[in-house]
């Protein structure tokens, strides 16, 4: 198993743009960095886990408090024009090296090691494809034992049709699919209130009043 974390380098106005429409760019940046650090901490705490961090640009990390700063020398750059092309490339990269990829994002506060193990166990038990549905109609995790590039083609990325379209293509391919528990991403102001209600000890004060 290899967990492939897809994320963005912290830059004002370039991260969590949907949230920024509700809260402004500064709050969106703080939320991005907080969620990214939580995800990285979870991955780092899993013993013997192979994980990779794939970012959107080759730009140097400018913010000293960017959670990616300690990883700057080992970051991998996403390849492709669309999100689908970039995920397909990352999946292929891992499968060619004999690794089973589980691709996740950094915006899901309920993503934990149990969820990751459940995904891996599903593939080990014979599922061709594992998906972690998101409340917004997308998914928070995708994993596969063999590359099926068409799962990433003709998908309306960023819409509420992503999961449905992916499942339809999996059906066309005759794949056995395992669906995990549905989770939620932080994309809007209301999601920050839900996040605050979880009462994590390190929750930034700047997000509490949003």
Q: Are 79 and 20 in contact (CB under 8 A)?
A: no
Confidence of residue 209 (pLDDT cuts 50, 70, 90): low
For residue 65, what pLDDT is reported? 74
For residue 210, what pLDDT is reported? 65
Give the separation between CA 154 and CA 50, rounded to whole angstroms. 30
- Which CATH topology does 2-205 take? Spore Coat Polysaccharide Biosynthesis Protein SpsA; Chain A (3.90.550)
Whole-model pTM: value is 0.95
Average pLDDT over every residue of 166-183: 98
Q: How far is CA 183 from the centre of its chain?
A: 12
For residue 161, what pLDDT is reported? 97
Give the model confidence (pLDDT) of 78-136 as tens digits.
999 999 999 999 999 999 999 999 999 999 999 999 999 999 999 999 999 999 999 99
For residue 55, what pLDDT is reported? 96
Q: Are 147 and 176 in contact (CB under 8 A)?
A: no
- Distances in Å between the Cα of 139 and the Cα atoms of 70, 150, 194 are 28, 16, 19
Helices 25-44 & 189-197, crossing angle to 10 degrees? Answer: 40
Residue 203 has pLDDT above 70, yes or no: yes
Q: Taking the domains of the chain in order of start, what are their residue ranges?
A: 2-205
Percentage with pLDDT > 70 across the chain: 98
- At a CB cut-off of 8 Å and minimum separation 6, what does 124 contact? none
Give the model confidence (pLDDT) of 136-157 as tens digits.
999 999 999 999 999 999 999 9
Q: Are 35 and 186 in contact (CB under 8 A)?
A: yes
Give the model confidence (pLDDT) of 176-191 as tens digits.
999 999 999 999 999 9
For residue 59, what pLDDT is reported? 73
- Distances in Å between the Cα of 123 and the Cα atoms of 26, 144, 181 are 39, 7, 15
For residue 78, what pLDDT is reported? 97
Average pLDDT value over all residues in the chain: 94
Give the separation between CA 115 and CA 180, rounded to whole angstroms. 8
């Amino acid at each position: 198993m290899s967990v492939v974390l897809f994320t963005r380098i912290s830059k004002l106005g370039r991260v969590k743009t949907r949230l920024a429409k509700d809260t402004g760019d500064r709050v969106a940046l703080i939320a991005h960095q907080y969620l990214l650090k939580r995800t990285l901490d979870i991955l780092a705490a899993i013993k013997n886990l192979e994980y990779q961090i794939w970012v959107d640009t080759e730009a140097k990390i400018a913010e000293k408090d960017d959670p990616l700063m300690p990883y700057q020398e080992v970051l991998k750059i996403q390849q492709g024009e669309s999100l689908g092309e970039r995920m397909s490339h990352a999946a292929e990269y891992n499968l060619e090296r004999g690794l089973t990829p589980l691709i996740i994002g950094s915006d899901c506060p309920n993503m934990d090691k149990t969820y990751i193990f459940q995904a891996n166990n599903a593939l080990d038990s014979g599922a061709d494809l594992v998906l972690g549905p998101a409340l917004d109609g997308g998914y928070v995790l995708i994993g596969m034992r063999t590359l099926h590039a068409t799962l990433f083609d003709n998908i309306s990325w960023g819409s509420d049709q992503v999961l449905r379209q992916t499942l339809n293509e999996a059906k066309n391919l005759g794949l056995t699919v395992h669906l995990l528990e549905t989770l939620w991403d932080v994309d809007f102001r209301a999601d920050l209130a839900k996040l605050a209600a979880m009462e994590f000890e390190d929750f930034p004060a700047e997000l509490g009043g949003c």
